[in-house]
Amino acid sequence: MAAVVCTLRHRNTRNRAAAMLERMEKQNRIFSGFDADAIDRTTAADLAEVGSDKWTRYPGCIGAFIAEMDYGLAPCIQQAIDSACDHCKLGYIPEPWKRRVAEACAGWQKSHYGWDVDPDIIRVVPDVLEAYEIFLRELVGAGNAVVVPTPAYMPFLSVPKLYDVDVIEIEMLQGTDETTGEREWLFDFNAIERAFAAGCHAFVLCNPHNPIGKVLTLAEEQRLCELAERYDVRIFNDEIHAPFVFEGRHIPYPTISKAAARQSMTATSASKSFNIPGTKCAQVLLTNPADREMWAERAEWSEHQTATIGAIATTTAYNEGDPWFQDALSYVRRNLGLFDKQMRTRFSGVGYIRPRGTYIAWLDFGPLGIDDPAAYFLEKAKVALTDGRSCGRAGAGCVRVNMAMPYPLLVDCLNRMHDALQADGLL
Ligand SMILES: Cc1ncc(COP(=O)(O)O)c(C=O)c1O
C-alpha cells in the first residue's frame, strides 16, 4: 500500500515520518514530512481505499473533479489531531481556540502576503461557504442581486437562490498579454459597471480564481475598487486559494486601500493548502467596522458551529505547516508544468489558458465539438471532471480539472483523455 495512504493512519505516519526525517537529515535538508516519492507511488486503488469523495464517487475512475489534494496530511497536523483526541479536546469551540486561530491566520497573512492584519477582526466559521451565506443573508438581502464573474466556483451561483438573491453572471473575457504574448483571462469591467449602474450592490471576487486560475493584478484590483466605490458595492472576497500562486503575487484585496477594506468581507481557510476541509474551520476577516457589529448580533451562531478539531488543525497548519506546504506547492508546480506542456502539444485544439494560481484548470472542448465533455470523459476515459455548466452559462462545452493528484496519475489521466479523443478522430 502506498505511503500516502498511511499518512491517514497515524501510527504508520509516525514511522514513515521518522524514516523520512532520518533520510533528510542524511541529505542535510529541512524536514517537512511531505514525501514526494511516496506520493508518486500512490495508486488510484490506494486513494479509493482511503475513501475520499474524490476517489469513491465514480468507482474505477480517476477523480479530478472536487478541489482536494491527494497528498495526505502534514505530520504536524496529524500530531496535533492525535494529541487533541488523546486529551479529549472535542467539545464545543472555546474562546481561546478562536483566538489562537485568529492569531495564526494573522501570522500567515503577514508572513505570506505582507498583510499586517489585527487578529481582533478575524472570526471563525465552519467553512468559506458559511461566510458566503452570511454575506448574502446579512449584507445583500433577499430581493437584491449579486454579480458573479463566470466561469465561477459552483456554489457562488447556486447558494444565492437559497436567500432569494438573484445572480448576475458576467462572463470573463479572454485576451493576449502584450508583453508576453500569452493568453489571459480579463474581467469585463464594462459589463460589471453596467450591472452596478443598474442597481446591483454586491460582487463576488475569487482570487486566485477557481476555476480559471486567474491571479488578479494590482491594477485590476484598483479598477474593481473604483467601480465598487462609485456604485456603493459590497464585495465577498474569497482568498482561499491565495497560497497557490505560480506567477505574480497574491495581493489581498483589502490591503490596496481603505475603500477596498471597507467594501470587502474576506473569507479564507487553511483547508485548500493543507487539505483539511473536513475539519470545518475557516476564517472571516472583517475589515469593515460595521460588519463587526453585524457579526456580533447576527453571526455568532456560525462561530459556535466551527469545529474545535478544525481550530486545532488550522492553528497548527498556519503556525508550523509552511515547510510541508512549500513542498506540496513544488509538487503542484511540477504537475502544472506537465499539464501545461501537454495542453500546448498533445491537446493543442482544446481551449486552454494556463492557470497562474490554484491547482485547477479550465478546458474548453467546444472547438472539438464536444457538447458535454464531463460525460464524454467519464464514459470514454474513466476520468471524472466537473461539468463546466455548473460554473455558469459560460461553461457550456467546458470542464474543470483538478491536477493536485500524484504525478503518475496525472500522466495516466492525460493519456486517457488524449486516447479517447484520438480514438474518435478529434485530435
Ligand atoms: C474558491 C473556493 N471557495 C470556497 C471553497 C470551499 O471552501 P469551504 O470548504 O471552506 O467552504 C472552495 C472549495 O473548493 C473553493 O474552491
**CATH code where residue 288 lies:** 3.40.640.10
Final residue belonging to a domain, choices 257, 285, 320: 320
Quick check: CB of 8 below 6 Å from ligand 1?
no
Quick check: CB of 273 below 6 Å from ligand 1?
no
Residue 61 in any domain: the answer is: yes
All residues at 6 or more sequence positions from 42 whose CB lies less than 8 Å from its CB, including other chains: 2, 3, 4, 5, 70, 406, 409
Final residue belonging to a domain, choices 290, 320, 350: 320
- Residue 180 CA to ligand 1 center (angstroms) comes to 31
Residue 139 in any domain: the answer is: yes
- Residue 278 CA to ligand 1 center (angstroms) comes to 11
Domain count, the chain: 2
Residue with cell string 464585495: 235
Quick check: CB of 269 below 6 Å from ligand 1?
yes
Do residues 312 and 340 both lie within one domain? Answer: no
Residue 200 in any domain: the answer is: yes
Do residues 158 and 238 both lie within one domain? Answer: yes
Residue 51 in any domain: the answer is: yes
Residue nearest to atom 4 of ligand 1 (CA): 128
All residues at 6 or more sequence positions from 157 whose CB lies less than 8 Å from its CB, including other chains: 148, 150, 167, 169, 390, 391, 392
Distance CA 238, CA 308 (A): 23
Do residues 165 and 287 both lie within one domain? Answer: yes
- Residue 129 CA to ligand 1 center (angstroms) comes to 7
User: Domain residues for 10?
Assistant: 3-76+322-423
Residue 82 in any domain: the answer is: no
CATH number of the structural domain spanning residue 363: 3.90.1150.10
Do residues 241 and 286 both lie within one domain? Answer: yes
Quick check: CB of 270 below 6 Å from ligand 1?
no
Residue 280, classified by CB atoms within 10 Å of its CB into exposed (0-12), middle (13-18) or buried (19+), is: buried
Final residue belonging to a domain, choices 274, 293, 320: 320
Do residues 129 and 226 both lie within one domain? Answer: yes
Do residues 314 and 339 both lie within one domain? Answer: no
pLDDT tens track, the chain, 427 positions: 344 444 444 445 556 656 655 655 555 556 799 999 999 999 999 999 999 999 999 999 999 999 999 999 999 999 999 999 988 889 999 999 999 999 999 999 999 999 999 999 999 999 999 999 999 999 999 999 999 999 999 999 999 999 999 999 999 999 999 889 999 999 999 999 999 999 999 999 999 999 999 999 999 999 999 999 999 999 999 999 999 999 999 999 999 999 999 999 999 999 999 999 999 999 999 999 999 999 999 999 999 999 999 999 999 999 999 999 999 999 999 999 999 999 999 999 999 999 999 999 999 999 999 999 999 999 999 999 999 999 999 999 999 999 999 999 999 999 999 999 999 999 9
Q: What is the CA radius of gyration of the chain?
A: 21
Residue 86 in any domain: the answer is: no
